[in-house]
Amino acid sequence: MKITADTSVCIGAGMCALTVPEVFDQSEDEGTVVLLQEVPAEGQEEAVRRAVSLCPSGALSVS
pLDDT value at residue 3: 98
- Phi-psi category of 33—alpha, beta or left, where left has phi over 0 and alpha has psi -120 to 50? beta
Count of other CB atoms within 10 angstroms of residue 63: 6
Cα 63 from Cα 61, distance rounded (Å):
7
pLDDT value at residue 46: 97
Sequence spans of domains, the chain: 3-62
**Chain segment 7-61, per-residue pLDDT in tens:** 999 999 999 999 999 999 999 999 999 999 999 999 999 999 999 999 999 999 9
The fold of the 3-62 domain, in CATH, is Alpha-Beta Plaits (3.30.70)
pLDDT value at residue 40: 96
Residue 20: burial class (beta carbons within 10 Å; 0-12, 13-18, 19+):
buried
